[in-house]
Amino acid sequence: MERLSALYATALFELALERDAVDDFLSQATLVHEMLQDAQVRSVLVHPHIQGAEKREFFKKSFGEYLHGDMLGFLFLVTEKNREAFLIPALAAFIGMVERYLKKVTAEVSFATELDDKQIAEMKQMLSGKLGKTVEVSLKVDPSVIGGPYIYVDGYYLDWTVKKRLRDLTVHMKEGCSA
């Protein structure tokens, strides 16, 4: 399944490059990928008794005015070949390819409280400078971290939370007491 998804993603990426529309393809693929995360939509997409023509009509009605003809054609091709189960992984792989190509990453950031726009902009700037890439921030409020950020970005994580510091202190104290 992974290999076929990668083939579809690569073909879509090459088409985006050929059309010089990488950013447009990325935003459109992201839109479709997010919509397909809905369980009901996914169940319609992979349902064996719903014909390909009905699925294509679903795509046309749902996305027709938002998608470039090539992206819509890609969705039609997948349904025509009865490969709907590969669509979500293929779109995810495509999004990853484009983000690497554009040197974009998404940082998943957890804080105990909500950040304002200025703080988010400063975090983006700091991370972009450190990574040499454009960084988008996906913010999650998690009161259990007590304070400080937890950041997962580009395969790395930074844990500067009070929760981790307390945990490290507890371990250090236990090791010191047992020595």
pLDDT digits (tens, 9 = 90+) for 60-119: 888 888 888 899 999 999 988 888 889 999 999 999 999 999 998 989 999 999 999 999
Q: Can you read off the two tokens belonging to residue 65?
A: 């005015």
The span from the CA of 128 to the CA of 115, in Å, is 18
pLDDT digits (tens, 9 = 90+) for 24-76: 999 999 999 998 898 888 888 888 888 888 888 888 888 888 888 899 999 99
- Which domains, ranges and CATH numbers included, belong to the chain? 2-100 (1.10.520.20), 104-178 (3.40.30)
Whether 19 has a pLDDT exceeding 90, the answer reads yes
Whether 177 has a pLDDT exceeding 80, the answer reads no
Helices (H), 19-150: 22-35, 39-46, 52-63, 69-80, 87-101, 117-131
